[in-house]
Amino acid sequence: MFDNKNFYPTPPALVSKMVSKIKGHPVKVLEPSAGKGDLINGLKDSFKYSNSRFEVSAIEIDPILQAALRGNDVKVIDSDFMGFAGPDKFDLIIANPPFDDGDLHLLKALDIMYRGQIIFLLNAETLRNPHTNNRKLLVRRLEELGAEIEFIHGAFASAERKTNVEVALVNVVITRNVEDDLFAGCDDHAARAYQTVSDKNEVSTGRSIPELVAEYNEVVSLGTETILAYYKNYRKIGKYLGLNKESDSYSYSGDDLTGKMQGTLNALLVAVRTDFWRRTLELKDFKARLTSAKRQEFEHSLSEHCHMDFTESNIRQFGLNLIGSAEKTLTEAVLDIFDMFTVRHCWDDGLYEKNIHYFNGWKTNKAFKVGKRVVVPVRASYGSPFVGYSGWDLNYGAADFLDDIDKVMNYFDGGVPYHPMSDAIKNAFSRGESSGIQSTYFRITCHKKGTVHLTFRDDDILRRFNVVACRGKGWLPGDFGARPYRQLTVPERAVVDSFEGEKAYDANLQVALFGGSAMPMLELFA
């Protein structure tokens, strides 16, 4: 972590000093260079009991530190403060930014602060030696705002990461009233490359990330303008007209209209971001290839990320963090279907035993693979999966269940378009047929008792499905298929002999297990 020359965690004594500068009871706080959360922990210790509405958000560029912050119940709203374009309104911005460009970080904080307090720690040379245009601009703005500046020697002398550099503690309070300054700091950051909001019907279907981001920016801009205009005229129209999204959690009492405005705007941003992050689930490549289990994982991650500003870079990082290792993600989905075919439905009549073929596994004898023909009890949302009011009918829950199987098989087919089982079954049922049904990957027979008989149509897909699943189970060596049979150890050869034999093994050397474009989710974030 200390490979970063600018990473100097704030020592406890300095955290206490910075926190002691805070005036009043801030509600919405930002730490834009959060690191591992030293300052945030100090803030929480000071305000968690005295201010029940206290809420701290963070910006941090390191994904590992982001995860640690979220684990500490901190909302991470962006990954790069210098690129942050969110219209959030904060009561307090407090930070120990990178020493090399602390001037840029403080200038950014001054730009985005509508009304509130800024407490920043800088390398003293930033202010003592303003030799660059940015430093000169910073010194001039701090003078204009009447900033309090305290120079501190030895602040990091006994810190977690020691340095003898002198620091400057900057404390500045910005006052502004919504009635006097209607649209300051509320520019629309969205590029207007797309159609106006009245023509957004196609965009609302979620065709692409840039379109969603453009629509998000327009919604936020319109909402911001509406809220600011409303509160500017609140004293005249407030008793006659109310917003339908008034904020309860951030509402201010009395005549503090700027506080009311900031609270209402922040509540709007949470609602809009949550909605747009959720809409990423409907993007074509996600919807087509995420199984039900993976969609649930996405939904869980979404609840942790919905406070992140909705930008292309944040969506890209969110997707990469969610997917992590693409092969690991795909393997988990394969194992889910493998278990469903083999051990998950251990019925008394031995249904699952019809699906499996035993072999001598790597370091264990309890190993088996899926056979060419499997019998699977189908989960339905209600009643029978294949029976409706007028005879044969595919229950929508059963359709989702079968779609998950198809999505996994498509991983091995390069992500190409395919004819899903659910469509094939619906078409067959409409003709009064329940057997001899063919989809891209299976021949299908449905039984009204709730089981489906599936026969793999592609032996190569079946083989690779078994290899990925059995390797994931630890029943095959991790490098299975990487070395020729003659180079394997005696125990490894025994596994190969039992699993498929030398000829089939050598015929598939170095063959990719997943299809060439079977990781299309990554294309969204390339």
Distance of alpha carbon 122 from alpha carbon 151, whole angstroms = 9
Residues linked to residue 170 through DSSP beta bridges, in sequence order: 120, 149
**What domains appear along the chain, each with residue ranges and CATH number?**
12-174 (3.40.50.150), 197-324 (no CATH), 329-507 (no CATH)
Residue 193 burial (10 A CB sphere; 0-12, 13-18, 19+): exposed
Distance of alpha carbon 95 from alpha carbon 172, whole angstroms = 13
Structure-token pair, residue 349: 């009549």
| Residue closest to 361 by CA, chosen among 471, 461, 459 | 471
Supply the pTM of this predicted model.
Answer: 0.54
Cβ atoms within 10 Å of 326's Cβ, excluding its own: 15
Exposure pattern of 159-181 as b/e (b: 16+ CB <10 Å)?
beeeeeeebbbbbbbeeeebeee
| Residue closest to 96 by CA, chosen among 146, 27, 161, 186 | 161
CA angle 424-427-428, nearest 5°?
85
pLDDT in tens, the chain (526 residues): 445 555 567 888 888 899 999 998 888 899 999 888 888 988 888 776 565 677 888 999 888 888 888 888 888 888 888 888 777 788 899 999 988 889 999 999 998 887 899 999 998 889 998 888 889 999 999 998 999 999 988 767 565 555 677 889 999 998 866 544 433 333 333 333 233 333 333 333 445 788 888 999 999 889 888 888 888 888 888 777 777 665 544 444 456 778 778 888 888 887 888 888 878 777 766 666 667 776 666 666 666 666 778 888 777 766 665 555 456 777 888 988 998 888 754 444 556 677 888 999 987 778 999 999 999 888 776 778 888 777 899 988 899 899 999 989 988 888 788 999 999 999 999 999 999 999 999 999 999 888 899 999 999 999 999 999 999 999 998 889 999 999 999 999 999 999 999 999 999 998 888 875 444 444 554 4
Contact assessment for residue 142 and residue 170, using Cβ atoms and an 8 Å cutoff: yes
Q: What residue type is assigned to position 300 of the chain?
A: H
Distance of alpha carbon 139 from alpha carbon 126, whole angstroms = 9
DSSP state letter for 447: E
Structure-token pair, residue 156: 């990091």
